[in-house]
Structure 1
């Protein structure tokens, strides 16, 4: 079994005390020095020192540091330092976990947040939540505020955009426990939990193909630099290649803003966005179906179709990501349902692994379901 890094540090210091390398009153290296020596985060080195203090092998004096305690006869009574595996590192502390999320609603996010909170509580932790509303500066401040609040680790659903948040990169460089959800950073070693977005849009497109549709458009938020949105576009494109259908690049419509930001734009900008989408549909009359990267954009698309005097699914079929739950009937949209419960559980599991010193970088790919709704039907043959 792989031994967490804080236990390795614990045993190394205990070995030096037992062997006389460190005597009573000698100063122990600081959290920072141990973190640099062992290539770990300061939270990992702190755990090792906390456990040594709990076992009364060292004394921690505020403002001065940690010193070897008077342990005459104590070490010889220890059957084996390996017994540290039986210790509970959070005996007297309740770990605080930070969650940074751009927004959440019943269509996506509410179940995820509840799952994260449930799993953190099950591990005797508490959850602190910050909402950033797709604003980079707010996201940076949220991360800093949580760090200053003394969190042990952080789960982040990053805002979408072309550039990485430097605060997230700082966490990686400092080896601070962090997990990304619903996004991964290409080329950066960081734990992530994401839906299989490529497979999801591939199967969504194939679903429309199975209904007889060939002229299928793709509606997306700005995707450059946002890995999950790039993967969704690639999945849509691959479905055409797999089924030997012509991929028409002009069938991809990139919205001027994400659906979150769109809600906060002025009425004139919103009207302009509707007009762009309307012209896109009018300029491509052969289109019969749409794959949409987000539920909010699917709602906007539905509104534009109604403005054109058309109906869904009679004139156009739509499949999108996510949808609010419904108890009384099938959902409005046929949609890709992400497994938020599993995503939340996995993100907490990966985070606590890091907190406990297991530093292996893992990207968890979570499966999904396609739920049939009232927005798709078999393509009618022209008579």
Structure 2
């Protein structure tokens, strides 16, 4: 006697056990819907449901027109399937670091979630990709309703994030996006911002502009897109970019206390190359470059103009107030919360990429160059 257990559940549990016992290993093809229907004496609808449930659990993946296959163990390790009916109304926001400038992400999301009965839980990865992975799995297994993720990098944890997504777990990215992975995201218009910064410098008469980054350009979509904007502005103004104008990874391999010393040597070298302006990938780096210029005796903006990106709270109060490109963190947080609630409540499950406009904030760190006679 089979009892009252649904037939699809019996098939599903048998396949689960066979995967666990190693009858089917990573990337092995499972029996087809027709094979299972004949084996268990059920309809194809029933056998298909069993395979769909296994896919939802992250144990298998399906290839259109080919069948169902066992998912790699490494991708599913540490994941427990939590039924959506048992999930709590908590949205987790995972940020790479805590910063007063990023409180608007939290405020924007919370202002949308709170009146709708959702609670926002904040977690910090400290730019550690292993910590980020740990948090992703923990929030998933804890029964939270969804995750708003600011990735530490767009080159790491793609398998983990995509597996959660393929398990129909609501997840939205902010600040960055993964290439070729259709997970909804809310990002600033970094390409336009990068263009805007370079264009502003060029219109001020600068023709030798360095693009300086803290990390490798390829590591984050934000930096890539700001760099593309920088290049596009040069192309539109018919200016050549020399390879030594691009200075990546200036923080690589140095302790925090040695940063200014290294950057001081860098700005001296750039000045020797007749570079008259620096476009920094973000404000923190721009402020460090400003300090380095002061250490080197290079006057800003008289001898070197500097422009940042973000419009952090402190940059308007720097010794030389910083010209920068402002992001709207509040709108990013609010839009991400809107999308994740739509996914949770099944109002809109479509892939969405939202570009949030940026704007140039002019202060004192950029000089207009005198026209050559």
TM-score (ref. length: structure 2): 0.73
Shift of 1:247: 1.7
1:194 equivalenced with 2:167 (yes/no) = no
> Which secondary structure does the structure 1 equivalent of 2:308 belong to?
strand
8 Å contact from structure 2 (residues 194, 230) kept in 1: yes
> Which secondary structure does the structure 2 equivalent of 1:244 belong to?
coil
> Which secondary structure does the structure 2 equivalent of 1:224 belong to?
helix
Alignment match of 2:287 (pick from 299, 304, 319): 299
Greater shift in the superposed pair: 160-169 or 203-212? 160-169
8 Å contact from structure 1 (residues 128, 146) kept in 2: no
Q: Distance in 2 between matches of 1:123 and 1:29?
A: 36
> Where in structure 2 are the equivalents of 1:63-212 lying within 5 Å?
95-107=89-101, 109-160=102-153, 162-212=155-205
Q: Distance in 2 between matches of 1:127 and 1:279?
A: 46
- Tell me what 2:212 maps to: 219
TM-score (ref. length: structure 1): 0.71
> Which secondary structure does the structure 2 equivalent of 1:311 belong to?
coil
In the alignment, structure 2 segments of 5+ residues that lack a partner are 13-48, 58-82
8 Å contact from structure 2 (residues 260, 291) kept in 1: no
- Tell me what 2:66 maps to: none
8 Å contact from structure 2 (residues 154, 221) kept in 1: no
- Tell me what 2:234 maps to: 240
Q: Distance in 2 between matches of 1:198 and 1:26?
A: 55
> Which secondary structure does the structure 2 equivalent of 1:230 belong to?
helix
1:347 equivalenced with 2:336 (yes/no) = yes
> Where in structure 2 are the equivalents of 1:21-36 lying within 5 Å?
27=6
Shift of 1:130: 0.9
In the alignment, structure 1 segments of 5+ residues that lack a partner are 1-24, 43-65, 67-88
> Which secondary structure does the structure 2 equivalent of 1:166 belong to?
helix
8 Å contact from structure 1 (residues 112, 344) kept in 2: yes
8 Å contact from structure 1 (residues 40, 175) kept in 2: no
Q: Distance in 1 between matches of 2:345 and 2:7?
A: 21
Shift of 1:300: 1.2
Instruction: Say if 1:183 and 1:35 are closer, same or farther in 2 by CA, change over 3 A.
Output: farther
- Tell me what 1:10 maps to: none
> Which secondary structure does the structure 2 equivalent of 1:104 belong to?
coil
Instruction: Say if 1:326 and 1:220 are closer, same or farther in 2 by CA, change over 3 A.
Output: closer
CA RMSD of superposed structures (Å): 3.3
